[in-house]
Structure 1
């Protein structure tokens, strides 16, 4: 197969890119039952016992709960790697001979920047209260695979599978797709899997930087929010 897409294929790929941008930046509440089914199916696929799935209204709420849960009961790390990384690694092997890499750089920039700003704001909130009772999973940090960041490459997976007829494990792809469509941020352990709600608001400028005038640039349903001006976080007066 040619290493380059035809002009017609390139135009069609842009439709897939837009589809997955909308999924990554959706502000619709997650369907909790679909999220639980997707997570449990994913654990089965990677050979792990099904966990208890705990859903929180924001990453901040999840961090507060995790600190208490880890202190009271403790959780074991998944073998080898976290759940999303293992799903991604297995799926990517089907596309090693794809014609070219089509990651969405603008979406990658925005989603990773969101993770960076949100987690730094979580740390600062905890420090300002002087209570030290938050645990931020490594998976929440920028640079890790999460449902929103994974959409940067899911567009390419989807295109290669749907339009170029690439060989793949259909069950594996359906489970991975269900995770990305139905879950916010995830922290996976042997005993439990933490799933966060999506933001109820995400605002950004034409350079794909978090940005809003006179309101929060990103906000969750429990009121956790942050303000940003062209990608730079600030505290309002």
Structure 2
């Protein structure tokens, strides 16, 4: 059997298309448009099927704090009702599976080059004080998880930490995968690489039609997109004077250059 050809370099014409795909996916990553419930349900169900799990019960909440406060009270062991966290399973069976198919057809050095060119407008691609990197895509942070931890401890100290921890650390924002989807899209559309059509469609649907998700075996918790996001120059959640992220119902998250401004102090006080 002949050895498959591995792409090691881009043509000048292909190089010129990199900004086109970055400009396509950046607005998707930052979208705060209201979601369409039917499309959101279809995207969640498709992702579960591809992860080899039955379609889940889907519960909709206005924000993650509301969801956790409600579900952490379901019996003494809420995760008996929810099932195990599926984030890692989905990553392995869908996103990683698709990425591995793409990566087998392209040299590692070129993979890194394309990813860097998609994410950063200019070199250098690694931060230093003289030349800080400027990202096109949001750097996802733990600010939401940290805000939830503080608020749950403040307002619901009766809830078991081991239960609420499983909720806070299961939260994902599929739109954050846009930085990877941008590369995959370029490799499929421009380089004409082989790919898994079902998995690529499922990833696109989750990115484009879902807000924040907490995915468990039997239940998927869905919350809307943010109604507000504020950033510093390097696309980290940040605001000195107000919340940096806010849900449509007003639930707010505070951030200072990608970190919750009170979390370290909170940890020290409660440890």
Which bracket does the TM-score occupy, shorter chain normalised?
0.7 to 0.9
CA deviation vs aligned residue, 1:155-202 (integer Å, no higher than 9, x gap): 001111111111112222111110111112222222111222110111
Counterpart in the other structure of 2:95: 88
What TM-score does the superposition give when structure 1 sets the normalisation length?
0.83
- Alignment: residue pair count: 228
Q: Which runs of 5+ in 1 are unaligned?
A: none
Q: Decide which structure has the larger Cα Rg and report it.
A: 2
Per the TM alignment, residue 5 of structure 1 is displaced from its structure 2 partner at its CA by 2.7
Distance 2:7 2:64 in 1: 43
CA contact (8 A) 1:32 1:55 kept: no
Helix, strand or coil: the match of 2:220?
A: strand
Give the 3 Å change call, closer, same or farther, for CA 107–53 of structure 1 in structure 2: farther
2:26 pairs with one of 21, 27, 39: 21
Matches within 5 A, 1:1-237: 1-69=6-74, 71=77, 74-77=81-84, 81-96=88-103, 97-98=105-106, 99-101=110-112, 102-103=114-115, 104=119, 106=135, 110-113=138-141, 116-133=142-159, 135=164, 136-140=167-171, 146-212=173-239, 214-234=241-261
Helix, strand or coil: the match of 2:254?
A: strand
What TM-score does the superposition give when structure 2 sets the normalisation length?
0.74
CA RMSD across the alignment: 2.6
Per the TM alignment, residue 35 of structure 1 is displaced from its structure 2 partner at its CA by 0.9
Give the 3 Å change call, closer, same or farther, for CA 31–208 of structure 1 in structure 2: same
Helix, strand or coil: the match of 1:68?
A: coil
Q: Which runs of 5+ in 2 are unaligned?
A: 1-5, 121-134, 263-271
CA deviation vs aligned residue, 1:119-156 (integer Å, no higher than 9, x gap): 1011111222253437234232xxxx641332121100
Counterpart in the other structure of 2:131: none
Per the TM alignment, residue 107 of structure 1 is displaced from its structure 2 partner at its CA by 5.5
Distance 2:88 2:101 in 1: 19
